[in-house]
Amino acid sequence: MRLRIDEIAVEIGEETQAEHAAEAIRAALAILARRLAANPLHERGLRKAIQLGPVPADYLAGPGAAARIADDLYRELVRA
């Protein structure tokens, strides 16, 4: 399986929140990569954008943010 991510866009007004979001997204992608390695999806030729949101500000910060993002991304990939 090959997963190519062309773009990640996060729209956040405050710089501090943007830094937390970037950290959470990096961690979420690492979690997602491990999950896909352990449970690969079959070749599907996914060519659509996956969008999460809009989400509350605390979605990208706080305890469990990376795992929450990874869970939501995985769920969207399975649905695709």
Cα(80)–Cα(50) distance, rounded to whole angstroms?
Answer: 8
- Does residue 8 lie within any of the structural domains? no
pLDDT of residue 67: 92
Cα(5)–Cα(21) distance, rounded to whole angstroms?
Answer: 17
pLDDT of residue 3: 61
pLDDT of residue 47: 60
Under DSSP, the state recorded for 42 is: P
Q: Extract the tokens encoding 47.
A: 């060519």
Distance of CA 70 to the CA centre of its chain: 5
Q: How many domains does the chain have?
A: 1
- Does residue 69 lie within any of the structural domains? yes
- Does residue 9 lie within any of the structural domains? no
Domain carrying residue 62: 17-40+49-79
**Contact 38/1 with Cβ under 8 angstroms?**
no
**Contact 10/18 with Cβ under 8 angstroms?**
yes
- Does residue 5 lie within any of the structural domains? no
The answer to pTM > 0.85 is no
- Does residue 21 lie within any of the structural domains? yes
Q: Residues 19-75: pLDDT tens digits?
A: 778 888 889 989 988 888 887 766 655 566 777 877 777 788 878 889 998 998 888
